[in-house]
Amino acid sequence: MRIKLKIAYDGRSLDGWQSQPSGNTVQDRLEKAAAETAKEPVRIHGSGRTDAGVHAIAQVAHFDAPEHLTMNPFNWVPALNTKLPASIRVLEAEETKTDFHARFSATGKTYHYDICTEPVLSPFRAGLAWHLPRQLDPHLLEDALTTTLGRHSFEAFAAKRGNETEDTDYHRALTRASLESLDYGWRLTWSGDGFLYKMVRLLTGGVIQVAQGRLRLDDFALLLDQPSGLAHGRAPFCAPADGLYLESVDY
C-alpha cells in the first residue's frame, strides 16, 4: 500500500528536509518514526527539499507500507505523530495509487514569504518572518513581482548545487507573484510549475532590493531570460530562510 502524507513543520530547529548525517532533518525524523512503527526501515520521498529554517504548511510525501502491516492509512497519523518532535506534524495520511510519486507527480507549488516591517521584531515572530524595518515602496514591489510572471529562464535566480550540466533547464513558469498586507508587514506569494534551488529566496531578495531603491526595476528585469551559461549578472541578494513557507503542492 502506498501512503500519501501531508506534513507541516516549523523549520527553526531543523536542518531542512533532506536526510543528513546529523539526523535532524524532516526526512530523517519521519523515516525514524516510520521505522519504529513498521519495525523495519521505511524510505520516505518528499515533493522537494526545503532548506534549514524553512517552514511547511502542507509538504507532501509518500512511502510504501511494508506488506505485513494491515494498518488503516489514517492510523499512520497518530502512529507517526507520537514519535515525532512537536515541530513536525503529519496532518493527513491516505492510500494513493501505486504510480503516485510525491515529487515527480507534482504539477506545481505555492510558497509564501512573510516580511515584518515593524521597528522591533516580536520574539514570537523570530525565525518566522524576515525583519525589514527599513521603508520599502509597495508599488515598486508589485511592479517587480509582475515582471517575474510567465515563463522565463531563472538561471540568475538559482543557486548552484554543483551537479548542473549544459543541459540543465532553468526555465520555469510563474502563475502568481502577489503582494498582500499583513498587520505587521507584507506577504509575498509565489506559485509556479516548479522552483529551482533557492529560487524563491533569490526572487524575494531581488524584488525587495527593487522596493528599497537599491536595484533598478530595469536591471532586475534584465536578470530574466539570460542565455544559459552566459548570465552577465546574478540575483543580488538571497532572502533569509526565516519567512519562507511551502504552502501547498499541486497534483
CA 244 distance to own-chain centroid: 7
Please give the backbone phi and psi of residue 71, each rounded to the nearest 5 degrees, phi first. -60, 140
Angle, CA 62 vertex, CA 21 and CA 176 arms, to 5°: 95
| Residue 46 main-chain phi, psi, to 5 deg | -100, 165
C-alpha cell at 18: 533532506
Out of 15, 28, 51, 114, the active site residue is: 51
The answer to whether the CB of 247 falls within 8 A of the CB of 111 is: yes
User: How many degrees, rounded to 5, is the angle at CA 171 between CA 25 and CA 152?
Assistant: 120
218 catalytic per annotation:
no
User: Taking a C-beta distance cutoff of 8 angstroms, is the pair 226, 155 a contact?
Assistant: yes
Say how many C-beta atoms besides its own lie within 10 A of residue 204's C-beta. 26
Residue 160, sorted as left (phi over 0), alpha (psi -120 to 50) or beta, turns out to be beta
Residues found in the chain: 251
Give the Cα separation of 154 and 100 in Å (integer).
28
Strands 130-131 and 108-116: parallel
Alpha-carbon 94 to chain mean position: 22
> Which residues are known to be catalytic?
51
